[in-house]
Structure 1
């Protein structure tokens, strides 16, 4: 019996791959059918013949044929043999089969990410992060014990099920108490929705606030992933000026008179990336504008605990809960890998946010959230906060000394009152400096990733908290060498 199909499977089978041989045969046959090399009604070699051609056990081919028949790709024609199903449509594809591991392009339209890079260091090179904590400082044994307690308690209480998209009740209660006692927010658990970090909280806030075409005001230097979240909702981004006292509220008023502003995003405690704090008089003026023009304030308080000079200012949400959606995180205080943040707002807003959580995240992570609640309840979080606050204060001083030693007057900075990073400004051409830093293998966030306006002052945000004294010296020396030789 003629078999017009030219056998090419042997070129694709690789015993060294983790995929079983019979599955490789199935995949290869489906690719040939889908690409048009095998058309409907084509007879295949018998299982014995194909096994001999491929140098495999006949049972392997039989298993592949049986699976393809069950799926509907092939049909058994009795004594005539096995052929490609005649019910399959003719393929319009003319693509050659792709080699294993080859990159595949999409045949459909999709929304590509923005050309401008997000402000996230990547790669395996030495990383100059933007203010990450040192995960080595949190004892693994304490975290393990808290997880064990949370798992056992959830099992006893039958809470290993689907649950409230607003998050673990235990953690919501714990965070509400923490915010009320330590930051003065007038909240209960009903005001709290647990998120997968502060960025997730910002994204969720954008979902309930912003419609396509709405204007969102941001500072002309800001946190780029937040801007990307607003743009993904179709927002019109309005950048306004920033100075040593924070966002320019007169520029905010001007923008609000010209545009239908739905929200203002800002980081008033330690402005990202410059680290400056928003002055009290500007905070109050901004709240007046919020009431006047009806926009919401999204207050990202990503590292509230780390203030090294005077007492930190209260969050704006503490005295204006009706105007503010407050976003915070335990990532800087505990571990970034735990991915625990929270959004604080009036209960109807929290319910609206929870709806979007249910669409994208389902139910969160009860065990991790209960573990965090256990660490708050047993005092471990407060003990850890006191310990790392002292360590990071010392590292801030060390980092400043190393900057002065390595750069002298060739880099400018203002000692940050709080936060976990420095904002560095250079007299030299920053484009050239960044090119040399990249060429030297250092990973860092580009100065342009912070900019929403070409008029914004450029600089590099470099974290110090994740580096001990030896690592800080090495990182700064590498930065100096890469920048200036």
Structure 2
């Protein structure tokens, strides 16, 4: 049971020296910080509380403290506990004794910074050091409460939690027995690298081995690592005029220059791409060719070959983000560009859509020297990944659970895709336009009227979604909203689209 709000004034103890009385007016207020239920010994809690009071200036240098008997009585603890705390603080140099006058805050301590850590300072956000402030940009998906239309997230409720718990339990037991819970290779769990390489070979036609794989903390982390390995400040990186906003943020955070090029129903404009490569020293191009983000269009085979030829001609690395390969609903999915030219492409994938975004498992596949360079970057910021989570994921792949879940989720998402399309037709007919996406977990919807006004009205009703401006790499790009359907059941989808329809009227 915590002792709350014990605030007592120590009796003014008169210590006479030369006829002058020494008063100790300090109010004891350590009680709110002392809790016998905590694992930390009480004498250590007293030590920490006194140090905090000294550091914040509440106990100034030269302040006399209550006697050990007075403080023990005020806190209802054994006097020996307080004696032990005082002795430790004296040994550390925070306190000192002045003979019969008692215990005092060391007079050699410097004065604390004026209102450091005060409530007013924290509220104002002021600091006494320089730091890199975040850029002014709209977040891809704002927080808060209300109806949420994401950008194409999976439904985390579909994955069987008991299977995940079993995989974690197995991984913990196996890794403990094998002494694998130590620091390890920043490339990631060898078991997971093997499983992912096997998955890419059998399902996506990519001839990678485990040596070509580096596990990352999700696809966004993988994208940042790839860019960090490829570019220096001032280098140009090409993106489509409608693209994944965090990619732009990552390029700019690394000091890169964003070059936006056109986009149509066939994917990236290769004529404008080549012209941009002639005007700028482009080091990399970021593409989502399977289901273009945000428009969902597929980069057709003939354009893929043209993109690869331009990249070879100008020495441009292609970062291919294949973020939801499994969920293609019309015909067979196109093979990744990395299968055409593995020496030209850094392939970025994620287990978030297959399993759960919360697991934070992504991966990069590339030639071995590139993977070694990326692993070095991982070692600087992460050191290593999460062995237990990665091995649990490897167990789920090896056991076939991932494939079974993917088949089940595909059927559910196919039904939700059709239901969502029907809702858009019925609720937004004549006011919004879209093409049924061949794959992916979201729709790209264009609206008649002022989209800024529509967004404002929709958000006022509690509907949350990514701003259309978050997708635009240049002002001339087409305007639209990317609306995810996979994470919503029928009731949730109806509520969301009904609210959006009201905002368009």
What SS is found at the alignment partner of 1:147?
Answer: helix
- How far apart are the structure 1 equivalents of 2:146 and 2:34? 31
- In structure 2, the residue matched to 1:263 is 284
Candidates 321, 330, 334, aligned match of 1:309: 330
Q: CA deviation at 1:192?
A: 0.5
- How far apart are the structure 2 equivalents of 1:325 and 1:341? 13
- How far apart are the structure 2 equivalents of 1:382 and 1:200? 25
- Counterparts of 1:145-224 in structure 2 under 5 Å? 145-224=166-245
**Once the two structures are superposed, what CA deviation does each residue of 1:22-76 show, in whole Å capped at 9, x if it has no partner?**
7786566445544556443443343345567x67557475465345334432223
* Structure-2 change in CA distance of 1:74 and 1:446 (3 Å): same
Q: CA deviation at 1:187?
A: 0.9
Instruction: Check if 1:98 corresponds to 2:118.
Output: yes
Q: Which moved more, 1:265-274 or 1:366-375?
A: 366-375
What SS is found at the alignment partner of 1:135?
Answer: coil
CA contact (8 A) 1:40 1:84 kept: yes
CA contact (8 A) 1:216 1:263 kept: yes
Q: CA deviation at 1:305?
A: 0.6
* Structure-2 change in CA distance of 1:49 and 1:225 (3 Å): same
What SS is found at the alignment partner of 2:349?
Answer: strand
Q: In structure 1, list runs of 5 or more residues that go unmatched.
A: none
Q: CA deviation at 1:436?
A: 1.4
- In structure 1, the residue matched to 2:449 is 428
**Once the two structures are superposed, what CA deviation does each residue of 1:81-120 show, in whole Å capped at 9, x if it has no partner?**
11222332344x2217735996464321111111102313
Give aligned pairs, total: 481
- How far apart are the structure 2 equivalents of 1:145 and 1:440? 41
- Counterparts of 1:364-375 in structure 2 under 5 Å? 364-375=385-396
**Once the two structures are superposed, what CA deviation does each residue of 1:280-299 show, in whole Å capped at 9, x if it has no partner?**
22211111111111121100
**Once the two structures are superposed, what CA deviation does each residue of 1:304-353 show, in whole Å capped at 9, x if it has no partner?**
11111121111100111011000001110111111111100000110111
Instruction: Check if 1:334 corresponds to 2:355.
Output: yes
- In structure 2, the residue matched to 1:80 is 101
TM-score after normalising by structure 1: 0.92
- How far apart are the structure 2 equivalents of 1:185 and 1:247? 23
- In structure 2, the residue matched to 1:14 is 32
**Once the two structures are superposed, what CA deviation does each residue of 1:118-165 show, in whole Å capped at 9, x if it has no partner?**
313422322111101111211222222222332333233332222211
Candidates 162, 167, 176, aligned match of 1:141: 162
Q: Any runs of at least 4 consecutive aligned residues in structure 1 with deviations exceeding 6 A, and if so which?
A: 15-25
CA contact (8 A) 1:302 1:329 kept: yes
Instruction: Check if 1:238 corresponds to 2:276.
Output: no
- How far apart are the structure 2 equivalents of 1:23 and 1:124? 41
Candidates 143, 149, 153, aligned match of 1:132: 153
* Structure-2 change in CA distance of 1:401 and 1:71 (3 Å): farther
Instruction: Check if 1:290 corresponds to 2:308.
Output: no
* Structure-2 change in CA distance of 1:61 and 1:406 (3 Å): farther
* Structure-2 change in CA distance of 1:67 and 1:98 (3 Å): farther
- In structure 2, the residue matched to 1:381 is 402
**Once the two structures are superposed, what CA deviation does each residue of 1:331-385 show, in whole Å capped at 9, x if it has no partner?**
1011111111110000011011111111222221112111211122121111111
What SS is found at the alignment partner of 1:406?
Answer: helix
Candidates 448, 451, 454, aligned match of 2:469: 448
- How far apart are the structure 1 equivalents of 2:455 and 2:379? 42
CA contact (8 A) 1:13 1:24 kept: no
Q: Which moved more, 1:64-73 or 1:445-454?
A: 64-73
Structure with the greater alpha carbon radius of gyration: 2
- How far apart are the structure 2 equivalents of 1:15 and 1:245? 64
CA contact (8 A) 1:73 1:85 kept: yes
CA contact (8 A) 1:132 1:332 kept: yes
* Structure-2 change in CA distance of 1:171 and 1:58 (3 Å): closer
* Structure-2 change in CA distance of 1:347 and 1:289 (3 Å): same
- How far apart are the structure 1 equivalents of 2:120 and 2:78? 24
- How far apart are the structure 2 equivalents of 1:3 and 1:242? 81
- How far apart are the structure 1 equivalents of 2:117 and 2:401? 57
Q: In structure 2, list runs of 5 or more residues that go unmatched.
A: 1-14, 16-20
Instruction: Check if 1:409 corresponds to 2:443.
Output: no
TM-score after normalising by structure 2: 0.88
* Structure-2 change in CA distance of 1:38 and 1:468 (3 Å): closer
CA contact (8 A) 2:33 2:45 kept: no
- How far apart are the structure 2 equivalents of 1:130 and 1:4? 66
What SS is found at the alignment partner of 1:137?
Answer: coil
CA contact (8 A) 1:395 1:468 kept: yes
